[in-house]
Amino acid sequence: MKTFFQTRVTFLETLAQLKKLEGPGKVTQALRVMKERETGKLCYQAEEDLSQAELSLLKDMLSARKSMWETYKQKCRESLPTWGE
């Protein structure tokens, strides 16, 4: 279980890495998809580890719109295997 501070630092590092992964190259795009999935996992982890007040503060500090937060979570869900296939 991460603290608020640890979670914030991890998010800032991950979002900075995502910003660097902009460009048309196939490798860059593949790395970006992987980093977006990782960011989605961080969103889920933050929702589990932090109180509602801390989570709201984190989103405010990151200027994370609800749509952005949900988009990263969706990227994470898309990477999960589906049962029965």
pLDDT along the chain (85 residues), means of 10: 92 93 92 95 96 95 88 92 68
Q: Other C-beta atoms within 10 Å of 63: how many? A: 8
Report the pLDDT value the prediction gives residue 82, as an integer from 0 to 100: 75
DSSP state of 82: P
- Per-residue pLDDT, 65: 83
What residue segments make up the domains of the chain, in order of their start? 4-78
What pLDDT does 66 receive?
84
Q: Which two tokens stand for residue 20?
A: 């660097």
